């Protein structure tokens, strides 16, 4: 098996070398691209709060596949299983404030402290992972009628405090782990039906963000991002934190902008936005997801848009200023498999982009030879990227091709089915 993989790899190497692509260098570059794995695929975005109810905020998981994680130990064990199936070491884990561990004591969101995430930090250290963070502005009794844009000053204050504390937790992650934590703000605020005063909630949101971001926290440890959305379930007619709102906010206040692949109109894709936005913002956060007709957060597959995102990042050398994070949640299939499929695909797309003879393509384009451009782009689609991927997995001592599936099935039998 491994001999065949080596042979195929050597052949692939030759094919790419003809176009001036150094396959070994591509793999080296791939080793250094970090992917942030969202913890919430493991338990359908429920978290560990004592009174954890159902998921609200207009996002939804569908399906009832058995074996979801019920606590931090199980969730981290599941993540370790996933990590063992992924090539390379450059991974972060993305935690939501819902995943605080408070030893059975009720700690509301406006009272969370770094210590409630100490188990995540210890674990991240042990597994050589970075951590990212998200304040959770949903699945809470006070999130049903607006959070940071709420007309109720008491409610708005509660959520502002949550936002402030989240930055402190992010800073703690960054300091402990020696790499910046990306702290991403997404709120569900909006309206099911037509809104008359669309301005006032936005003014309140802007003021809330200003208050949250007022505390001076070094970007060395915590970087703030804001995430827009076009609509959610229950906010079909109006979303306070729209794309224009947050793009403007990020540019003016020098925060990161988060682009979620599922947060735009169905025919709009984020890959086309990246080269425009980078003229005006310094750093991006991507929520790599897969919308199917709506913001359905399907498992990421190796489709045209995933490839296009990776191409944009690689072709323009945007990798150093782009934080690649995953955001999907499928409860209808084995969750370890969901994570593995989505994360392997994201890395695979990056590899494919790194193997592209970009310089040659840019050259024919600049010469106006659009015939060659189209011909080459199409031919490169069937170049032996898979052979390089297999070798990359082999080299990193993780399952090659679909062999990871047997491991997931065994884990399901030994661990998940006993929950």
Query: Is 287 annotated as catalytic?
Result: yes
Task: Choose between 58 and 87: whose C-beta lies nearer to Zn ion.
Answer: 58
45 lines the binding site for ligand RNT (CB under 6 A): yes
Q: In the structure encoding, which two tokens stand for residue 256, read together?
A: 């990161």
Q: Are strands 256-260 and 238-239 parallel, antiparallel or unpaired?
A: unpaired
Q: Please check whether residue 167 is in contact with residue 224, taking contact to mean a CB–CB distance below 8 angstroms.
A: yes
Q: Is 327 a catalytic residue?
A: yes
DSSP letter (8 states) at residue 298:
B
Q: Return the structure tokens found at 268.
A: 């709009």
Residues 411 and 336 sit within 8 Å (Cβ to Cβ): yes
Q: Which of 229, 243, 298, 348 is catalytic?
A: 229
Q: Which of 224, 295, 330, 390 binds ligand RNT (CB under 6 A)?
A: 295
Tell me: does residue 44 bind ligand RNT (CB under 6 A): no
CB of 41 to ligand RNT, least distance (A): 10
Which residue lies nearer to Zn ion by CB, 96 or 344? 96
Interface residues with Zn ion (CB under 5 A)?
260, 287, 327
Give the other-Cβ count within 10 Å of 161's Cβ: 17
Q: How far apart are CA 239 and CA 336, in angstroms?
A: 32
Q: Is 43 in the site for ligand RNT (CB under 6 A)?
A: no
Positive or negative torsion for Cα 398, 82, 264, 228? negative
**Closest distance of CB 186 from Zn ion, Å:** 6
Vertex 327, ends 281 and 123: CA angle to 5°? 100
110 is catalytic: no
The answer to whether 61 contacts ligand RNT (rule: CB under 6 A) is no
* 270 binds ligand RNT, rule: CB under 6 A: no
* Minimum distance of ligand RNT from residue 42's CB (angstroms): 12
Per-residue contact flags (x/-) with ligand RNT for residues 170 to 189, judged by CB under 6 A: ----------------x---
Catalytic annotation, pick one of 327, 330, 390, 412: 327
Which of 38, 81, 92, 287 is catalytic? The answer is 287
Nearest to 254 by CA among 219, 203, 228: 219
Residues 206 to 245 in contact with ligand RNT, rule: CB under 6 A: 227, 229
Task: State the DSSP H helix or E strand holding residue 351, giving kind and residue range, or none if neither.
Answer: helix 335-354
Q: Which is nearer to Zn ion, 189 or 260 (CB)?
A: 260
Instruction: Specify whether the CB–CB gap between 96 and 112 falls below 8 A.
Output: no
Catalytic residue flag (residue 186) = yes
Provide the token pair at 138.
């949903």
Positions 1 through 40 that interact with ligand RNT (CB under 6 A): 40
Give the x/- contact pattern for ligand RNT in 304-343, rule: CB under 6 A. -----------------------x----------------
Out of 61, 97, 134, 147, the residue judged to bind ligand RNT by CB under 6 A: 134
Sketch the per residue contact string, 350 through 389, with ligand RNT: x for CB under 6 A, - otherwise. Answer: ----------------------------------------
- Closer residue to ligand RNT (CB): 176 or 260: 260
Q: Please, what is the minimum distance in Å from the beta carbon of residue 55 to ligand RNT?
A: 9
Catalytic residue among 68, 81, 140, 263: 263
Residue 59 binding ligand RNT, by CB under 6 A? yes
75's CB contacts (< 8 A; 6+ apart) are 39, 42, 43, 69, 99
**Least Cβ distance, residue 212 to ligand RNT (angstroms):** 16
DSSP labels, 236-289: SSEESS-HHHHHHHHHHHT-EEEEETTSS-TT--GGGTHHHHTTT-S-EEEEE-
Per annotation, catalytic residue among 43, 49, 295, 312: 295
HSE (side-chain half, CA atoms, 13 Å) at 95: 30
- Give yes or no: 116 in active site: no
User: CB of 163 within 8 A of CB of 82?
Assistant: no
Contact (Cβ atoms closer than 8 angstroms) between residue 134 and residue 166: yes
CA–CA separation, 308 and 314 (whole Å): 10
What is the distance in angstroms between the CA of the first residue and the CA of the last residue of the chain? 36
CA 279 – CA 339 distance, rounded (Å): 33
Q: Is 227 a catalytic residue?
A: yes
Instruction: Cite the active site residues.
Output: 186, 227, 229, 260, 263, 287, 295, 297, 327
Which residues form the interface with ligand RNT (CB under 6 A)? 40, 45, 59, 96, 134, 186, 227, 229, 260, 287, 295, 327
């Amino acid at each position: 098996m491994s001999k065949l993989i080596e042979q195929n790899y050597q052949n692939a190497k030759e094919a790419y070398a003809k176009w001036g692509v150094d396959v070994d260098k591509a793999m080296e570059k791939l080793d250094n691209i970090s992917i942030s794995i969202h913890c919430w695929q493991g338990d359908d975005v429920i978290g560990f709060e004592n009174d954890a109810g159902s998921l609200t905020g207009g996002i939804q998981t569908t399906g009832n596949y058995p074996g979801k994680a019920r606590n931090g130990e199980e969730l981290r064990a599941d993540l370790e299983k996933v990590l063992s199936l992924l090539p390379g070491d450059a991974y972060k884990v993305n935690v939501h404030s819902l995943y605080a561990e408070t030893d059975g004591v009720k700690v509301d969101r406006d009272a969370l402290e770094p210590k409630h995430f100490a188990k995540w930090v210890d674990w991240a250290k042990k597994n050589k992972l970075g951590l990212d963070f998200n304040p959770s502005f949903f699945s809470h009794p006070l999130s049903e009628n607006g959070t940071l844009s709420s007309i109720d000053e008491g409610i708005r204050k509660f959520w502002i405090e949550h936002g402030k504390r989240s930055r402190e937790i992010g800073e703690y992650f960054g300091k402990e782990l020696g790499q910046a934590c990306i702290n991403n703000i997404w709120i569900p605020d909006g309206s099911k039906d037509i809104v008359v005063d669309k301005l006032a909630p936005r003014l309140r949101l802007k003021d809330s963000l200003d208050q949250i971001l007022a505390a001076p926290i070094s970007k060395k440890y915590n970087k703030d991002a804001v995430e827009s959305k076009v609509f959610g379930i229950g906010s079909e007619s109006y979303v306070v934190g729209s794309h224009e709102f947050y793009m403007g906010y990020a540019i003016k206040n020098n925060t990161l902008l988060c682009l979620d692949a599922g947060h735009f109109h169905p025919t709009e894709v984020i890959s086309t936005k990246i080269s425009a936005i980078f003229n005006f913002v310094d750093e991006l956060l991507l929520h790599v997801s897969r919308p199917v007709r709506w913001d359905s957060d399907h498992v990421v597959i190796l489709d045209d848009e995933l490839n296009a995102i990776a191409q944009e990042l690689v072709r323009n050398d945007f990798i150093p200023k782009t934080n690649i994070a995953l955001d999907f949640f499928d409860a209808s299939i084995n969750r370890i498999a969901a994570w593995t499929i989505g994360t392997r695909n994201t890395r695979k797309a990056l590899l494919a982009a790194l193997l592209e003879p970009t310089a040659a393509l840019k050259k024919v384009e600049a010469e106006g030879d659009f015939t060659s451009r189209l011909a080459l782009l199409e031919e490169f689609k069937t170049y032996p990227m898979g052979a390089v991927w297999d070798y990359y997995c082999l080299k990193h001592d993780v399952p090659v091709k679909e062999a990871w599936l047997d491991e997931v099935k065994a884990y399901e039998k030994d661990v998940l089915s006993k929950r």
